Each structure stands twice: as structure tokens, then as C-alpha cells.
Amino acid sequence: TQLLEQSPQFLSIQEGENLTVYCNSSSVFSSLQWYRQEPGEGPVLLVTVVTGGEVKKLKRLTFQFGDARKDSSLHITAAQPGDTGLYLCAGAPIQGAQKLVFGQGTRLTINP
Amino acid sequence: GAGVSQSPSNKVTEKGKDVELRCDPISGHTALYWYRQSLGQGLEFLIYFQGNSAPDKSGLPSDRFSAERTGGSVSTLTIQRTQQEDSAVYLCASSLLRGGGKTQYFGPGTRLLVL
């Protein structure tokens, strides 16, 4: 069974601070996705990374896929209260890529 | 609407009752997924439909759970003889193409509470 471990599970910081969320596995994934979920809604895709070592930027968010395609990170610069939410990483296995494997999520709270 | 819709949005039932959860995917999307999410946690894969292929049921936790997709569109997830541990948010997603690397669009979920 492939697992994705996300850390930290909970993070509460002040507006303007930087933060990094990690997603780690012992398994290789063909791609990895990051989602953000707000209360009462389904997850919304933020980014997909496919190539080992790939870095993608989405405004103040920077996503990186590990060289070995086993891990990923999400870095937020100058966090804003609007960044508050549940962040989920999800990996597409090499075999059976239609069944995404989700991490347990990081609940992020940005305090004004 | 253009997105994935699910109904009901909330369901409270008594232990032992059967429940049916409905998902309307985005029109034209050939793949449909059901996931279960416990309070504030990650998503657990339940079942996957792709076109006319046999569904991948490998994530269903027990034989009390079943799902069907009629006419390649609407899907119903049925839970028979509900148990308290079935309480969770049940999320449906659809995608245009098969493969986990393709974007899955999620519905808002059905919040199930089994008393």
C-alpha cells in the first residue's frame, strides 16, 4: 500500500510569515498534485507536478517535486489570511494511476 | 451548473438504515470517482468508473458499500445497514480523461451522520 505522509498536520502562524508543508513517501509517483479545501467544499486542484525536480510557482505559492518523485513540498511566502484552509497532496501511482493516494492533509490557519 | 453536484448535502440516519448518495458529474466527463473523508482528514479512495469499463471497486471497505453509474453519467453510492463508523463526508469527482495525473473536479460532498 502506498502512503503519503504530510507534515505538519496543523499549522497556525501570523500573517506575513513564511511556511513550508511537506509530503513524503517511500514510493515513486508518476505525478503529484496539491489541492486546497475550504470548509463545506470539495478539494480544488492547485498544481500538478510531473517531472522529478520540477518547481512550479503560483503567485506566493511554490511547489517542488523531489528528484526521485517520492516527495514534494509547498512553500508559501508572506502568508495571508485568505491562505487559510486544508492543503492536501495526492500522488498518482505508477501502476493504477487513476487511484490517487492522498495525504492526511495540513490544516493551515493564518492569523491577521 | 458547470460543476460536479452531489445530493443530499447532509444526511442524518439511524444505524442499520440504508442510504443512497447521488453524484452528477460534469457533462462529458468519462471518469467518475467516489472518496470518503473523515473529519478534517485526507481522502480515502472508494470506487472508480471509466466509460463502459468495469468499475474499480478495490477501495470499497465492505460489501455493505456499492455504487453504480447509469448511462455513463449519474452515479449512486449505496451504503446498506449503516454503521456509526460510516459517518464521514463522501466526495465525488469527475475527470475528462482517465489517469490520476488528469485533473479531478470535486463536488461539495455529502455529509453523512449515522446515529
Residues B10 and B19 sit within 8 Å (Cβ to Cβ): no
Question: What integer pLDDT is reported at residue B42 of this predicted model?
Answer: 82
Residues A15 and A111 sit within 8 Å (Cβ to Cβ): yes
Collapse the DSSP code of B18 into the 3-class scheme (helix H, G, I; strand E, B; otherwise coil) and give the result.
coil
Question: What integer pLDDT is reported at residue B2 of this predicted model?
Answer: 78
Residues A7 and A104 sit within 8 Å (Cβ to Cβ): no
A7 to chain B: which residues are within 8 Å by CB? none
Question: What integer pLDDT is reported at residue A1 of this predicted model?
Answer: 63
A102 to chain B: which residues are within 8 Å by CB? 35, 42-45
What digits encode the pLDDT tens for the residues B9-56? 999 999 999 999 999 999 888 899 999 998 767 899 999 998 888 899
Minimum distance, in Å, between the CA of residue B3 and any CA atom of chain A: 11
pLDDT greater than 60 at residue B98: no
pLDDT band at B99 (very low <50, low <70, confident <90, very high): low
Three cell numbers, residue A37: 479545501
Are residues A48 and B101, on separate chains, in Cβ contact within 8 Å?
A: yes
What digits encode the pLDDT tens for the residues A4-43? 999 999 999 999 999 999 999 999 999 999 999 998 899 9
pLDDT greater than 60 at residue B65: yes
A94 to chain B: which residues are within 8 Å by CB? none
What digits encode the pLDDT tens for the residues A53-100? 999 999 999 999 999 999 999 999 999 999 999 999 999 888 766 778
Sign of CA dihedral A84, B4, A33, B20: positive
